[in-house]
Amino acid sequence: MPWDPDLYLAFQKERFAPFEDLLPVIRVRPGLSVVDLGCGTGELTLRLADHLPGSEVLGVDTSEPMLERAAALQRPGLRFERRDLRRLDGAWDLVFSHAAIHWVEDHRALIPALLTHVNPGGQLALQFPSNHHHAAHRAVVETAGEEPFKTALEGWNRISPVLPMASYAEILYEEGVTDMRIFEKIYPHIMENADALAMWLSGTTLVPYLDRLDDLYREYFLQAMRRKLRALWPSGPVFYPFRRILLSAVRPEVAP
Ligand SMILES: C[S@@+](CC[C@H](N)C(=O)[O-])C[C@H]1O[C@@H](n2cnc3c(N)ncnc32)[C@H](O)[C@@H]1O
């Protein structure tokens, strides 16, 4: 199952909430060149473009269904392209990403690599979930490690590449950035019940698992997840404290 824009946006208010915390740390200057990595359906890329006067903004993503939705938002100064964020090229005044880099391995290499594409005086601004210790997310990894899914997935499982918050500070310090800001925040979501939580997960965390399964196993996997979540939260509402890291850093004008 590839990314499904409708399923993803079923929780739009909750998924977009961290953008409101990241936007105020963006340095507004006229005429910025901006790239939004993993732009998805593009609504936040549009908000970013509208916030930055005279900017040229490119949203990139690897998912065709997400990009098809984003295409409707194109306007002068805002376009979308199919590109992999692991192979970013060019030099940008702002490298931005909202809820996407946790899909990419090896953040110790990724963060310095992204910084090489930030112009001197430019900014890196990222938000990504650090919620992998939550019981619902542990249940996903556990289910994928159990039969019959372990065999159906050929032993594949997804361990989050997200590091402790302090590690990002250390990586950025080593890179000689200025104006480093890093914080972790819990977004308190209230789900109607365990099935609603399963639906939330199927719009994001479960995507690469469901993508690797045929129709039959996909349904079995979703059933197994619902069973497990109902056992954890037998009655609603379910309080779902969602943890995210937000970070921003500026590349010095003169190399340190
Ligand atoms: C959770 S969605 C976030 C979308 C949007 N930024 C938002 O906050 O609403 C994650 C997006 O990252 C994209 N993505 C995952 N891996 C990627 C990669 N290697 N390169 C580019 N996009 C990627 C997915 O296709 C998906 O659209």
Concatenated DSSP letters of 159-208: ---PPPHHHHHHHHHHTT-EEEEEEEEEEEEEESSHHHHHHHHHTTTTHH
What is the average per-residue pLDDT within 109-130?
A: 98
The residue contributing the CA closest to ligand 1 atom 14 is 38
Summarised one tens digit per residue, pLDDT across range 143-192 is 999 999 999 999 999 999 999 999 999 999 999 999 999 999 999 999 99
pLDDT for the residue numbered 6:
86
Does residue 168 belong to any structural domain of this protein? yes
What is the average per-residue pLDDT within 34-54?
A: 98
Over 70: is that where the pLDDT of 1 sits?
Answer: no
> What pTM value is reported for the model?
0.95
Does residue 205 belong to any structural domain of this protein? no
User: Would you state the structure tokens that stand for residue 251, as one six-digit string?
Assistant: 């590349």
What is the average per-residue pLDDT within 43-71?
A: 97
Summarised one tens digit per residue, pLDDT across range 194-239 is 999 999 999 999 999 999 999 999 999 999 999 999 999 999 899 9
Over 70: is that where the pLDDT of 255 sits?
Answer: no
Q: Which domain holds residue 91?
A: 5-131+159-190+240-250
Over 70: is that where the pLDDT of 28 sits?
Answer: yes
3-state secondary structure (DSSP) of residue 255? coil
Cα–Cα distance, 69 to 60 (Å, whole number): 13
pLDDT for the residue numbered 199:
95
Over 90: is that where the pLDDT of 2 sits?
Answer: no
Ligand 1 centroid to residue 195 C-alpha, Å = 24
Cα–Cα distance, 57 to 49 (Å, whole number): 6
Long-range contacts, stretch 82-87, CB < 8 angstroms, 24+ apart:
84/60, 85/37, 85/38, 85/60, 86/110
From residue 3, give the alpha-carbon distance in Å to each of 53, 64, 143, 151. Answer: 31, 8, 21, 23
What is the average per-residue pLDDT within 37-65?
A: 97
Ligand 1 centroid to residue 40 C-alpha, Å = 5
Does residue 53 belong to any structural domain of this protein? yes
- The continuous run of DSSP H or E covering 47 comes out as helix 43-51
User: Would you state the structure tokens that stand for residue 54, as one six-digit string?
Assistant: 């005279």
pLDDT for the residue numbered 175:
97
User: In sequence order, what are the beta bridge partners of 94?
Assistant: 34, 123
High-pLDDT (> 70) share of the chain, %: 99
Pairing between β-strand 92-98 and β-strand 33-37 as defined by DSSP bridges: parallel
Ligand 1 centroid to residue 235 C-alpha, Å = 32
Does residue 222 belong to any structural domain of this protein? no
Does residue 221 belong to any structural domain of this protein? no
DSSP 131: -
The residue contributing the CA closest to ligand 1 atom 15 is 103
In the structure, which protein residues have their CB atom closer than 6 angstroms to any atom of ligand 1? 3, 15, 38-40, 44, 60-63, 66, 84-86, 98-100, 103-104, 204
pLDDT for the residue numbered 10:
85
Which CATH number does the domain housing residue 89 bear? Answer: 3.40.50.150
Does residue 234 belong to any structural domain of this protein? no
Over 90: is that where the pLDDT of 25 sits?
Answer: yes
Does residue 227 belong to any structural domain of this protein? no
- What integer best gives the mean pLDDT of the chain? 96
Residue 256 pLDDT level (bands cut at 50, 70, 90)? low
Over 60: is that where the pLDDT of 61 sits?
Answer: yes
The distance from CA 198 to its chain's CA centroid, rounded to whole angstroms, is 18
Residue 8 pLDDT level (bands cut at 50, 70, 90)? confident
Ligand 1 centroid to residue 38 C-alpha, Å = 3
Does residue 217 belong to any structural domain of this protein? no
Task: Please state the domain count of the chain.
Answer: 1
Cα–Cα distance, 67 to 211 (Å, whole number): 18
